[in-house]
Chain A
Amino acid sequence: EIVLTQSPGTLSLSPGERATLSCRASQSVSNMYLAWYQQKPGQAPRLLISAASSRAPGIPARFSGSGSGTDFTLTISRLEPEDFAVYYCQQYGSSPPGTFGQGTKVEIQ
């Protein structure tokens, strides 16, 4: 089973700043089957990025994903007030599909 480790656990930033979130896999993620989700309090997770770098429909361009193999990054170029949330990475290419990281909370500094 692939284990995903996200860092940092919490990121304290101000609106307008750049956020860089990391997701490291215990073994290579096949075909870059890596997704990122955003979850706000009281809401279900929402897909942001699939295949490591493809934005889901309707997701603003300030969100970008990169990486391959075992190291992946979600970048938010300029934080908007609505971006303060918890972000999860997920691999969906191996059995079992759907392993999640433990999450990174982006909070207002």
Chain B
Amino acid sequence: EVQLVQSRAEVKKPGESLKISCKGSGYSFRHYWIAWVRQTPGKGLEWMGIIYPGDSDTRYSPSFQGQVTISADESISTAHLQWSSLKASDTAMYYCARLSYFVTVTSPFDPWGQGTLVTVSS
């Protein structure tokens, strides 16, 4: 079974750093793009960026470029999303999702991880 399992919920203070993870199993991790998606009550689902674990080719949505860093460690089949300095506005649910077609970036997202809730509050 293809599965993505995300790290647990986090509560952080503004200015702190954070790295959350997404571990893939049941498929060849290096050959499928992984996406990160933010969900907030006000803005719905927002695509943040994608990474190809095989060569770490990474593409960011213009809205998130410079705000977050996406990385992947093929050796442990895990992708990461990190912030160097969190803001209250980063409070949201974050999902990882696999782009469902082998290698290609023109692909729907399937499956999705269970989500990681990030709360940033002083």
Contact = CB atoms under 8 A, between A and B. Distances in A.
Interface in B72-122: 95, 97, 99-100, 105-115
Nearest to A46: B112
B9 interface: no
**In terms of DSSP, what is the predominant structure of the interface of chain B?**
strand
Given A35-B109, A50-B100, A98-B109, A44 B47 contact: no
Interface in A63-109: 88, 90, 92-93, 96-103
**How big is chain A's contact interface, by range?**
20 to 34
Nearest to B113: A44
Of the candidates B37, B61, B109, the one having the most CB atoms from chain A within 10 angstroms of its own CB is B109
Q: How large is the interface on B (under 10, 10 to 19, 20 to 34, 35 or more residues)?
A: 20 to 34
A96 B100 contact: no
A45 B59 contact: no
B45 A92 contact: no
A100 B44 contact: yes
A88 B44 contact: yes
Contact of A44 (B59, B62, B106, B114): B114
Nearest to B107: A92
Contacts of A102: 44
Given A33-B106, A44-B95, A45-B95, A98 B112 contact: no
Interface of B: 35, 37, 44-47, 50, 59, 61-62, 95, 97, 99-100, 105-115
14 contacts: A35-B109, A44-B95, A44-B114, A46-B112, A50-B108, A50-B110, A90-B45, A90-B108, A90-B109, A92-B109, A98-B35, A98-B61, A98-B109, A103-B44
Given A47-B109, A98-B35, 17 more contacts: A31-B106, A44-B97, A44-B112, A44-B115, A45-B45, A46-B112, A47-B100, A88-B44, A90-B108, A92-B99, A92-B108, A92-B109, A97-B47, A97-B50, A97-B105, A100-B44, A100-B45
Which 8 A/B pairs are nearest by Cβ-Cβ distance? A98-B47, A35-B108, A47-B110, A44-B112, A100-B45, A50-B108, A96-B61, A102-B44
Interface of A: 31, 33, 35, 37, 44-47, 50, 56, 88, 90, 92-93, 96-103
